[in-house]
Amino acid sequence: MSTEKPAAERIDKWLWFARFGKTRAIAQKLVERGQVTLNGAKVKKVSASVRVGDKIVVVLGTVKRSVTILGLAERRGPADEAKLLYDEPASKEKLNSEHAALPLYKPMLIREKGAGRPTKKDRRALAKELGWDSDD
């Protein structure tokens, strides 16, 4: 086995190791949605390689973070270790709702307390509102 550090790493793994996503699947979703740019170009594939010195811009909700890669990791360690993987020269930029990224999760549907189970009519109205109806 070699103890050399790799010269490049997959961007989804690096985002996960650097704690930009709680899971690797979330890191992959960030890339697939076009919320990650590498050296000024949108990343199209989760398998894109990153190297030390590359500049990454990640949009997380209403926050835009610009970082420079300082190191590559072999595992996902504690947060203090993850902060050593990148340098964030500028503070996080707040985005207005027009430029913000879509949430990674679907919002939960909440009904008023005591409203009971939805009726068939309620379910149809909800399906129509959310675009789930199959009567296209």
Structural domains of the chain sorted by starting position, each given as residue range(s) with its CATH number in brackets: 9-94 (3.10.290.10)
Mean pLDDT computed over 108-132? 82
The pLDDT of residue 102 is 64
Burial 13-38 (b: 16+ CB within 10 A, else e): bbbbbbbbbeebebbbbbbeeebbeb
Counting residues of the chain whose pLDDT is more than 70, the rounded percentage is 85
Report the chain's mean pLDDT, rounded to a whole number. Answer: 84
The pLDDT of residue 16 is 94
The pLDDT of residue 95 is 73
pLDDT digits (tens, 9 = 90+) for 55-71: 999 988 888 889 999 99
Q: How confident is the model at residue 38 (pLDDT cuts 50, 70, 90)?
A: very high
Is this model's pTM higher than 0.75 or not? Answer: no
The pLDDT of residue 118 is 86
pLDDT, greater one: 51 or 7? 51
The pLDDT of residue 134 is 59
